[in-house]
Structure 1
Amino acid sequence: MFANLLPGFRHFRTPFAVGTIVAFEWWVIVGDLIPKPSQAHGFLQRLYSLAEFAGRPLVTAAIGFTLYLVGNAMTLKSWQAMRLVHALSRVLPAPTISAESTGQLLQIVRKAFEKRGASDIAQIRQVVREMQAELIDIRMHLTANHVEVYLEHDRLDSEAEFRFNIAVHLVNVWCVLAVVWSPWFIAGFVLTAILYHDAVIALREANAILVQSVVSGIVTSRVYEREIQRDREYDASADAA
């Protein structure tokens, strides 16, 4: 039962953590402007009265649910994180697909050029890039047919997503704390850099599982099958000629 609940917890923790960070950030900015219960009026006073009537457990649950909703609206998904890494690649080089995984894709793509010849390396690399862009679809195939492999991928992907989001939102927190309290909080960017680096590693490992699934034949790549079919058609036309 715990194994079934674990994936759901992974997908809950990231929005909740993001919502908590955002709430803390705004508390630092406007916390002094929030009146105490004895000073509140209007709607805010009614909220305080409702909280007192409901009790701490219900108030805590309501706050947690609200933080989750706020965080869910501001959470970067793993594919969005990949785009962010690619956008920052000129400043912070960090490939989301390892050289080993890229080499494995190059090796199998060459098999789709056996009849046409594998001399056009630029075309082969283009096919590899298309297969890399197809990894999201590969993940869906794993969900449907290979749950064990998908769960291992999901674990690493969730770790990457969690660390990416914490790193991204901590950037705002350090800036706010540096302005409101002390410039020394800028040192927190070191922690952000470490989280970002760990997130890239986790994302790379998650993508390696998807690549290995294609290479080992667990799932079929639509792009690869297209090139195989083109190779067969080329061979047939060559024989006819």
Structure 2
Amino acid sequence: MAFFASLLPGVRDFRTPMTAGLLWAGVLVIILAPRADELLSDTPEAAALAKLFSDWSISAMAPLLLAGAFLIGSIATAITHAVCAKVGKGLHGLVVHLDGILERRLLPYYLSWWSLALKDATDPISHTARALISDSIKNILTRAGAPASVARYYTLESVTSSIGHSAAHLSITAPPLYQDYDRFRSEAEFRIAIVVPLTCLSAVAPVQGKPLLVTTTIVGCGVLLAQAISQIRAANNILANAAYHGHAALVSVQQVADRLKDKGRALKTPGAWAGAMISTMERCGQLKEARAATGLLASRAASPDAYEGLEYLEAVNSAFHQVALIDLEKSKDFALENMR
């Protein structure tokens, strides 16, 4: 059983590009078949090639067709996932923006409820997963000696966007959990990969009643996308639970925490801890995370933490000292007398 279980991830990864490739091959055949004579040039080589294909049996051509379909599917799947990720992120951002507008205008409860439900439905990370990841970040950093209030400087979005990197550790520490995660992930990828070729296939299919076919296909693809989002959330829920219980490592957070352990005794205030965390992120190459933490530090201009953190960044010659200073000067709570 263990042998077959080890084969499942490979089978799932093979299924998605192969199915998508066969669907795209169907689209190409429908489009190019009427123009088959125009595709080949009038040369002896082209004539010999056409004769060779006509002489081959289906069983002889099948391996070549499957290999071509797999290649087409691999390329198309990569493009489809990249585009869907961008579109999904933009759609979720738009929904969040609209939800903010509706909330400010104090519209009726049922409108606000639908807006909130739509925002949750387009978010690949559930509220429960976010809470678990937030607690995991806090636990990792407090074990390194950092005050609990400093954990906020490692922004949640930085971790949720890379939560998939924890799957490798999960496959070692808890293989059954990893199998569940991989199943949800692959099912989501499968549905996303076949949505576009299915729609194109219905659009070019030479059948009667094409408007009804295209409409039905679009509705079905919408259902597939909704299922894909649900399965992505389920996969992320598994990783978030695993991270909370220590079965999956939040590698980027752990990297920062390991380096902070050596500095803990010299750090006396939360502000100094915040500055040390930003400096450590910078040294670990986590520049986006360091920039986000710097912005959060500057937002606390009314607190001594901001100026203590700024002093620490200056003391260690961090490149983010100047960034933090500029952000602080932009704050309405900035007070020059608080700087020593």
TM-score, normalising length: structure 1: 0.78
Matched, 1:210 2:239: yes
Bigger RCO (CA 8 Å, 6+ sep): 1
Alignment equivalent of 2:159, drawn from 127, 131, 134: 131
User: 1:118 is matched with which residue?
Assistant: 149
CA contact (8 A) 1:135 1:207 kept: yes
Higher alpha-carbon deviation: 73-82 or 209-218: 73-82
Equivalent residue number for residue 219 of structure 2: 190
Letter in 1 for 2:218: F
Specify whether residues 163 and 24 from structure 1 end up closer, same or farther in structure 2 by C-alpha distance, changes over 3 A only. same
1:76 is paired with a residue whose SS is helix
Q: Distance in 1 between matches of 2:212 and 2:176?
A: 46
1:102 lines up with 2:133 in the alignment: no
8 Å Cα contact 1:109-1:224 kept in structure 2: yes
Contact 1:116/1:234, CA 8 A, preserved across alignment: no
Larger radius of gyration: 2
Note the C-alpha offset of 1:162: 0.4
TM-superposed CA distance for 1:63, in Å, is 0.9
Distance 2:80 2:29 in 1: 28
Task: Decide which of 74, 78, 83 is 2:76's aligned counterpart.
Answer: 74
1:94-114 CA-to-partner distances (Å, cap 9, x unmatched) read 111111111111223344368
The sequence identity of aligned pairs, in percent, is 22
Q: Is the 2:135–2:244 Cα contact (8 Å) retained in structure 1?
A: no
- TM-score scaled by length of structure 2: 0.58
Any residues of structure 2 matched to 1:1-16 within 5 Å, and which? 1-16=3-18
Distance in 2 of aligned mates of 1:146 and 1:77: 32
SS at match of 2:247: coil
**Alignment-mate amino acid for residue 17 of structure 2:** P
Q: Is the 8 A contact 1:177 1:185 kept in 2?
A: no
Query: Residues 10, 41 of structure 1: CA spacing in aligned structure 2 closer, same or farther, 3 A cutoff?
Result: farther
- The Cα of 1:215 is off from its aligned counterpart by 0.7
CA RMSD, Structure 1 to Structure 2 (Å): 3.5
2:241 is the alignment partner of 1:238: no
In structure 2, the residue matched to 1:88 is 91
- Which moved further from structure 2: 188-197 or 134-143? 134-143
Q: Which residue of 1 aligns with 2:32?
A: 30
Q: Write the letter of the residue equivalent to 1:85.
A: G
Which structure 1 residue ranges, 5 or more long, are not aligned?
none
Cα displacement string for residues 156-214 of structure 1 (whole angstroms, at most 9, x for unaligned residues):
11111100111133343344459x98333330210110111111111111111211221
Residues 46 and 131 (structure 1 numbering): CA distance in 2 closer, same or farther, change over 3 Å? same
